[in-house]
Structure 1
Amino acid sequence: MILEKVINKIEIQSEYKDFVDRYIDNVLTEFKDKIHSIYMCGSIPKGTATPFKSDADFTIVCVDPKDIDYERLSKIKDRLLEEYPILTKIDTIICSMDDVLSKPNEWGFWVKIICVCVHGQDIGKQVPPITISPEFIVDLNKETKDEVDRIHHSLSNASDPKMKMRYIKGYSKRLIRALYSLVLENTGVWEDDMVKMKNAILDYCEIDPALVDYLYACYLDSNVGLEEFLGRADEVYCYFENTLNAMAASRNSLY
């Protein structure tokens, strides 16, 4: 099965159009000819964002990510968050053109399938069609362990209650996405709706359903005990890692 794009048409709501334009203008002004193209994913380009609850997710593609100074980018983000309080936060991922084209099952997947181009030439169109397979699922999760370790560390060391809740919500979402990637051969599509992800995991994963329901509940309401959450999250990741390793071993045995 070939993966289809999550967002086929940009439908930004009127409340967010000025913000998106301002973000793009600010980034282009700050970094001038360093930018190849800019992308969005999530609820804003889909037209389903909720004021004061939704965040903004951008991806910048450039020749060399070192050309984009994070401190200068952070100042743009902070300024726009003050001007547009309807946003909860602004996240920006930076990758190179080479990342997208040389890693089709990782960065190529992200830009081609998850994101939609809001400025410049869509480099995702140069990525070959992505076929759902064990090889793709393993490649897709190459950086999952590092991401999980980073979030786990940040959460364990967070002292501010609001930051803890944000990390718990983000950690829950990341683990649900990781579990969902394991069932892509069953669903045939990449979902970005958390309820559909959860239900597919319950249908096709041999994981304790209570763990999945707990993760989803924490995603909705992250005001939970830290030690209990980390313990449950570790159980989920252990299942994920074992399943992924078995998938990788099965793939390798074919060569």
Structure 2
Amino acid sequence: MILEKVIDRVVIQSEYKDFVNKYIDHLLAEFKDKIHSIYMCGSIPKGTAKPFQSDADFTIVCVNPNDIDYEKLSAIKDRLLEEYPVVTKIDTVICSIDDVLNKPNEWGFWVKIICVCVYGDDVGEKVPPIMISPDFILDLNTETKEEVDRIIHRLLSHANDRTMTTRLIKGYSKRLLRALYSLVLENTGVWEDDMITMKNAILKYCEIDSALVEYLYACYLDSHVPVEEFLAIADEGYRCFENALNRMAASRTSFN
């Protein structure tokens, strides 16, 4: 079964058009010769964003990610967030053209399936069709543990900053739900980015305590919970995910 693109066309609401155009203009003014293409994912390019609630998610593809100065990038974000409070946060990930083409089940999946091109030539079109399989699911989660460890470290280091911890708890809940959803892709046949649809699919197909899934989803919606409580329950969810992934890897090895 071949994965289809999540967003088949860009539909940016009027509240966000100036912001998106200005952010791209600033990126090009600062890094133009170093950027190959720019992509978006999430609610803004889908046309479902909620003013003063939705984040903006960008991806920059370039020859060498080290060419993008993160301090300058952060300065651009800060200026735009001040100018456009309709956006709650700007996330921008950076990868290389080689990453997209040589890691089709990781960066290739991200650019080809999750994102839509808003500037430059879409390198995702050069990624071969992505087949849903245990190999794909395992490859997709290669860096999940590293990402989770990074979020936990940030949560612990910002334990006294309530604004940051609520943001990180929301982000961790979303990341873990996405990871759990990846386990049931062979059942659903499509990648979902609607969180409630994702949650319901996990409850239907994944062998995991439904109360745990509902807790993670509740934290995604409202992350004002004690950090210690959240980390304990999230750790249980991650262990369920990791055990399922290990079983999948063992089954693949036995089959081969």
Does residue 114 of structure 2 align to residue 114 of structure 1?
A: yes
Report the counterpart of residue 3 of structure 2 in structure 1: 3
Q: How many aligned residue pairs are there?
A: 255
Q: Is 1:92 equivalent to 2:104 in the alignment? A: no
Residue pairs, 1:56-135, within 5 angstroms: 56-135=56-135
Letter of the 1:156 counterpart: L
Question: Does 2:205 align with 1:204?
Answer: yes
CA distance in 2, matches of 1:223, 1:38: 33
Unaligned runs of 5+ in 1: none
Residues 71-95 of structure 1: CA distance to partner in whole angstroms, max 9, x if unpaired? 0000000000011010100000000
The CA deviation string for residues 92-135 of structure 1, in whole angstroms up to 9 with x for no partner, is 00000000000000000000000000000000000000000000
User: CA–CA distance in 1 between the matches of 2:119 and 2:68?
Assistant: 16
**Rounded Cα–Cα distance in structure 1 between residues aligned with 2:252 and 2:94:** 31
| 1:12 alignment partner in structure 2 | 12
Cα distance in 2 for residues equivalent to 1:238 and 1:220: 22
Please report the TM-score for the alignment, with normalisation by the length of structure 1: 0.99
Q: CA–CA distance in 2 between the matches of 1:32 and 1:180?
A: 36
Question: Which runs of 5 or more structure 2 residues have no equivalent in the other structure?
Answer: none
Task: Quote how far apart the aligned CAs of 1:253 are.
Answer: 2.0
Partner of 2:222: 221
- The one-letter amino acid of 2:72's match is R
Q: RMSD of aligned C-alpha atoms?
A: 0.6
Whole-Å separation in 1 of the counterparts to 2:240 and 2:50: 33
Look up the SS of the partner of 1:253 in the other structure. helix
Structure 2 counterpart of 1:228, which letter? E
Partner of 2:154: 154
Determine helix, strand or coil for the equivalent of 1:106: helix
1:228 shift after superposition: 1.0
User: TM-score, normalised to structure 2's length?
Assistant: 0.99
By how many angstroms is 1:140 displaced? Answer: 0.1
Q: Distance in 2 between matches of 1:108 and 1:53?
A: 29
Query: What letter is aligned with 1:28?
Result: L
Q: Distance in 1 between matches of 2:32 and 2:192?
A: 34
Identity among equivalent positions (%) equals: 76
